[in-house]
Amino acid sequence: MLDVHIVGGGPAGCFAGIGALEAGFSALISEEHRKIGEPEACSGLISRSGLESLRPYVDYKKVALNTITSAKIICGKQEFVITPKNEVAVLVSRSGLDQLAAQSFVEQGGRLELGRKVTRSFKAKNIVGADGPASSVAQHFGFPKIPSFVACMQGNFRLDCENPSQTEIYLSGRDFPGFFGWKIPINEESAKIGIGVSLPHHPYGYYRRFLSSLGVKSKPRQQLSAVIPTAMRKRTAMRKGGYCVVLAGDAAGQVKATTGGGVFFGARCGFLAGKYCNQPEKYVEEWKSSYWLDLSLHSLFRSILNIGMGEPNPWLLSFSKALLFEDLISEIGRMDRISTMLSPPSIISSYSRIVARRIAGGQGE
């Protein structure tokens, strides 16, 4: 008899499968597409620390495309560069990463069923809904809706990238209401260019304008449109009709509202969802105690960034510059676990170092 039926073969689903097998459950993953990871709906930029934490199961180095060491933030005429001392991002092939995770699940004895969309007819009494932002499992069992989403468009373009290890982030409430635009170099001669706008805005016109502002005239080699949840679901687990149902990843809204990055949190929470698939209350307790604070802080920062939405917000950058945020984030910046940045002693000691460097005219200049 099957112990757990996992719906969705993305990072949350594959890691739910791995977590379930490690806890001694038999597990089946059903994926609606015929190939894991395709079609790809992601940029694939993930913190190296996050990828390292998944490394016992997935050797991301096999699918790494580029390493990003700095980010240029552009808001109108103002810009600043963050070069985090302790954080590097890796651009991976997302389909490759998902395939490695699925392979790891199968090698450990899990069953994978491809080309099957599951909306009901569940095959076990324990169900993990890892079926993305429009989760059928969540709808079927009547979970509360995710309150906010951004709609994204992204394409891979051939173009010269002056600095292939620097990503560019474009902030402007007018040009990207509720989110931002990005250019992520794949190598010296190609980049992923995308935007997100909060729903109900439609991304198409904003995307055309963004591409033309960057002088991009060529056609993309690959283009995608997809949505990202930017808030957590109010409820992520329940017992109903004899089933234990837990949600993980985008289905649960376990995504950073600042950047839309959901692979790290989705995979980690997915693992817990599989491990505690027969104890919904324990699952909620575990994922919340590990990740809720960080995800909530990302939501808080997203709300701050969106102040003045509809207008360009260069004042925010001026304010940030005045407070030496550029240096501070380079010193203590983290992509995922931002709660670790916020301890007052670490902020005070970082500020002391930055100010001392500035006074000495050293590298803080």
Which residues lie near ligand FAD (CB under 6 A)? 7-13, 30-33, 41-46, 117-119, 130-132, 136, 152, 154, 194, 226, 228, 249-251, 255, 260-264, 266
Instruction: Please tell me whether residue 175 adopts helix, strand or coil conformation.
Output: coil
Q: 13 or 178, CB closer to ligand FAD?
A: 13
Sheet containing 70-75: order of strands: 78-82, 70-75, 166-170, 181-187, 190-198, 149-158, 222-229
First CA to last CA across the chain, in angstroms? 65
Q: 260 or 280, CB closer to ligand FAD?
A: 260
Name which of 93, 25, 92, 14 is nearest 57 in CA terms: 14
Q: Determine the Cα–Cα distance for residues 317 and 323; give it in Å rounded to an integer.
A: 10
Nearest distance in Å: CB 330, ligand FAD: 20
Contacts of residue 309, Cβ cutoff 8 Å, sequence gap at least 6:
173, 177, 178
Q: 205 or 362, CB closer to ligand FAD?
A: 205
Nearest distance in Å: CB 268, ligand FAD: 11
Give me the residue label for tokens 């109108």.
Answer: 76
Contact (Cβ atoms closer than 8 angstroms) between residue 335 and residue 87? yes
Contacts of residue 230, Cβ cutoff 8 Å, sequence gap at least 6:
148, 149, 150, 178, 179, 198, 253, 255, 257, 260, 299, 302
Name which of 144, 146, 142 is nearest 240 in CA terms: 142
Nearest distance in Å: CB 347, ligand FAD: 26
Nearest distance in Å: CB 14, ligand FAD: 8
Nearest distance in Å: CB 49, ligand FAD: 13
Q: Which helix (H) or strand (E) holds 178?
A: none
Q: 36 or 354, CB closer to ligand FAD?
A: 36
Q: Determine the Cα–Cα distance for residues 226 and 183; give it in Å rounded to an integer.
A: 17
Amino acid present at 268: R
> What residue spans of 6-88 are helical by DSSP H?
11-22, 48-54
Q: 21 or 42, CB closer to ligand FAD?
A: 42
Q: 63 or 130, CB closer to ligand FAD?
A: 130
Q: 66 or 154, CB closer to ligand FAD?
A: 154
Nearest distance in Å: CB 241, ligand FAD: 18
Nearest distance in Å: CB 8, ligand FAD: 3
CA dist list (Å): 120 to 1, 2, 30, 116:
18, 16, 12, 11
Q: Determine the Cα–Cα distance for residues 135 and 119; give it in Å rounded to an integer.
A: 9
Nearest distance in Å: CB 269, ligand FAD: 9
Q: 33 or 145, CB closer to ligand FAD?
A: 33
Contacts of residue 287, Cβ cutoff 8 Å, sequence gap at least 6:
236, 248, 254, 268, 269, 272, 273
Q: Determine the Cα–Cα distance for residues 58 and 56; give it in Å rounded to an integer.
A: 6
Q: 314 or 333, CB closer to ligand FAD?
A: 333
Q: 44 or 110, CB closer to ligand FAD?
A: 44
Nearest distance in Å: CB 224, ligand FAD: 6
Nearest distance in Å: CB 265, ligand FAD: 8
